[in-house]
Chain A
């Protein structure tokens, strides 16, 4: 049995940035193997501490990927470039988000051997509670993909 973490990141007060929490909520109703589910909210560098000591981490977060809203992709940190984005006009990002936490974890040699990030393209991230229609409709598919990822993990 692997020591797997499913970590949702994002702020449910900021529209589609709450997609991580929504996916986590949906996963809670499903029969999952022995995994730890954490709603990390807007956790910053402490994400390193949540990841430390795990064999596998599945991270769910809204991601600006230049895709149509609701589009989701699964990737590992080494497949992509994660960048701090200029969100100046819409509010801000925390300085230390997931990309900084992963860089710190990498430098400290503290990351799980396997990390899967499920990024979902948001439509709206203003100050509003609730997901857009496009992102809401992506939630079941992301859940199914996470379940499939877990199943493959168990077979390994």
Chain B
């Protein structure tokens, strides 16, 4: 009988560290866990007592990859708590900004974290030697995405112009025109991206689960909307706790979540499955080329769904800029609070899935705060996938089983904890 023990410490190529522990004894799966370090437990402590307009600036520092995402969810929570209605221009600029961050993160994940697995090189560094054109393309696309964010919010890792009720600085129309030209020039690069990822052979593993994403009827939703499930049902964002149902599990310091089944998935594949109809036509073409259709239940295809979203966000960003160029951008003061106390939840579908922030504010100061990150919501589903996958691959070598599990976890693009940026230096 098969006995396999997989113990991967510090799964590389995810944003943070995670340990995979799988124990198969005599063909029977005894243990199958993704052990992770921490979701932001410090969250409330960092915000409590602070003026309401500092929350987005503080929380944007939680993650260098989802800084705009945290800022957006934070602003929406504060604006709901204080009954602030942002202007149509603010809503458009936020959408455009958000597209920049989705592009930036997906390009990083697909090209620099996933492609090396499929192209048989250990990481993006050897890939830069063996296929410099591929890495150059990724960097070229990433630069446009970063510059898009920079034009609107400052820089995407530090979005200082985003504030409660609106923006403190505005892009010039000339800047938007320039970004628009560069987005149009990106089309050959996204076509090459679709082509590259359509040639990669994603592992054929399927497991049906519940997919959760924000949803609007009239657009492919990243900000606001309602919470929607492929199992049916929608919830107002204020009801997010009814969907997430956080619970403590023994082996992880992060809580697990479940809605209508034992687990659910958030992220690009979940958005694709929930919101396929709202995708840009060119993104639907990309999906067809990648062999994706709703409802796809192969978690490895999350990367393919990210490529679809790359196409969508480029095309939709061009469309939003076209609208802004017609209506013009006027420097406007942020919309003011209409009350100084209240509770509000905000949600944004960030690169890794649905992110919730909720604040209680009294007399302009934060007195309570909650945050549920996408990776926390995916943990139970990743483990369920691992339990489904392991018995089907027991005939493989230990090394191959380990790689299959690592690739599965990486497909979810997990952000396992929040980062420092400490260098470790040895003087020689």
Binding site for B on A (CB under 8 A): 9-14, 17, 20, 38-46, 48-49, 61-65, 73, 75, 79-88, 90-100, 103-104, 107-108, 117, 119, 122, 125, 127, 129
**Cβ–Cβ < 8 Å partners of B124 in chain A:** 45, 104
Could you list 13 A-B pairs, sorted by A, with CB under 8 Å? Answer: A42-B61, A42-B420, A46-B104, A49-B143, A61-B423, A62-B422, A80-B427, A88-B9, A92-B16, A92-B419, A93-B17, A104-B124, A107-B126
- Which one, B61, B112, B125, B419, contacts A93 given CB within 8 A? B419
**Cβ–Cβ < 8 Å partners of A91 in chain B:** 37-38, 417-420
Known contacts A92-B37, A93-B422; 19 additional CB pairs below 8 A are A10-B420, A13-B42, A41-B61, A42-B61, A43-B64, A44-B108, A62-B421, A63-B425, A65-B425, A73-B427, A80-B428, A82-B425, A83-B424, A86-B10, A90-B420, A99-B423, A104-B135, A108-B139, A129-B46
Residue B63 CB within 8 A of the other chain? yes
Query: Within residues 40 to 92 of chain B, which ones have a CB less than 8 A from any CB in chain A?
Result: 40-42, 45-46, 58, 61-65, 67
**Closest CB of chain A to B139's CB: distance in Å?**
6
Q: Are A108 and B136 in contact (CB under 8 A)?
A: yes
Query: Within residues 385 to 428 of chain B, which ones have a CB less than 8 A from any CB in chain A?
Result: 416-428
Q: Are B423 and A62 in contact (CB under 8 A)?
A: yes
Q: Are A81 and B16 in contact (CB under 8 A)?
A: no
**Closest CB of chain A to B49's CB: distance in Å?**
12
**Closest CB of chain B to A98's CB: distance in Å?**
6
A97 to B389, CA, bound (A): 32
Q: Are A45 and B108 in contact (CB under 8 A)?
A: yes
**Closest CB of chain A to B369's CB: distance in Å?**
14
**Closest CB of chain A to B306's CB: distance in Å?**
16
A96 to B9, CA, bound (A): 17
**Closest CB of chain B to A44's CB: distance in Å?**
6
Residue B99 CB within 8 A of the other chain? no
**Closest CB of chain A to B169's CB: distance in Å?**
15
Going nearest first, the 10 A-B pairs with the smallest beta carbon separation are A42-B64, A107-B128, A127-B42, A85-B424, A41-B157, A63-B423, A92-B16, A81-B426, A94-B419, A17-B420
**Cβ–Cβ < 8 Å partners of A49 in chain B:** 139, 142-143, 146
**Closest CB of chain B to A40's CB: distance in Å?**
6
**Cβ–Cβ < 8 Å partners of B418 in chain A:** 11, 13, 91-92
Q: Are B16 and A95 in contact (CB under 8 A)?
A: yes
Cβ-closest chain A residue relative to B418: A91
Contact-residue bracket for chain B:
35 or more
Q: Are B155 and A38 in contact (CB under 8 A)?
A: yes
Q: Are B421 and A104 in contact (CB under 8 A)?
A: no
Residue B328 CB within 8 A of the other chain? no
A39 to B422, CA, bound (A): 15
**Closest CB of chain B to A92's CB: distance in Å?**
4
Residue B365 CB within 8 A of the other chain? no
Q: Are A42 and B427 in contact (CB under 8 A)?
A: no
A1 to B324, CA, bound (A): 38
Binding site for A on B (CB under 8 A): 9-10, 12-17, 37-38, 40-42, 45-46, 58, 61-65, 67, 104, 108, 112-113, 124-126, 128-129, 132, 135-136, 139, 142-143, 146, 155, 157-158, 416-428
Q: Are B17 and A75 in contact (CB under 8 A)?
A: no
Q: Are B16 and A94 in contact (CB under 8 A)?
A: yes
Q: Are A94 and B139 in contact (CB under 8 A)?
A: no
**Cβ–Cβ < 8 Å partners of A95 in chain B:** 12-16, 113
Q: Are B157 and A64 in contact (CB under 8 A)?
A: no
Q: Are B15 and A75 in contact (CB under 8 A)?
A: no
Q: Are B421 and A17 in contact (CB under 8 A)?
A: yes
**Closest CB of chain A to B97's CB: distance in Å?**
16
**Closest CB of chain A to B419's CB: distance in Å?**
4
A63 to B423, CA, bound (A): 4
Q: Are A11 and B419 in contact (CB under 8 A)?
A: yes
**Cβ–Cβ < 8 Å partners of B129 in chain A:** 107
Q: Are A46 and B419 in contact (CB under 8 A)?
A: no
Cβ-closest chain A residue relative to B422: A62
**Closest CB of chain A to B366's CB: distance in Å?**
14
**Closest CB of chain B to A135's CB: distance in Å?**
12
Also in contact, A80 and B425, with CB within 8 A (given A49-B142, A49-B143): yes
Cβ-closest chain B residue relative to A48: B139
Q: Are B112 and A45 in contact (CB under 8 A)?
A: yes
Q: Are A79 and B427 in contact (CB under 8 A)?
A: yes
Cβ-closest chain A residue relative to B45: A127
A86 to B16, CA, bound (A): 11
**Cβ–Cβ < 8 Å partners of A40 in chain B:** 155, 157-158
**Closest CB of chain A to B287's CB: distance in Å?**
27
**Cβ–Cβ < 8 Å partners of A88 in chain B:** 9-10, 17, 37
Q: Are B423 and A97 in contact (CB under 8 A)?
A: yes
**Closest CB of chain B to A115's CB: distance in Å?**
13
**Closest CB of chain B to A86's CB: distance in Å?**
7
A79 to B428, CA, bound (A): 7
Q: Are A13 and B16 in contact (CB under 8 A)?
A: no
Q: Are B61 and A17 in contact (CB under 8 A)?
A: no
**Closest CB of chain B to A149's CB: distance in Å?**
18
**Cβ–Cβ < 8 Å partners of B157 in chain A:** 40-43, 46
Q: Are B426 and A13 in contact (CB under 8 A)?
A: no
**Closest CB of chain B to A127's CB: distance in Å?**
4
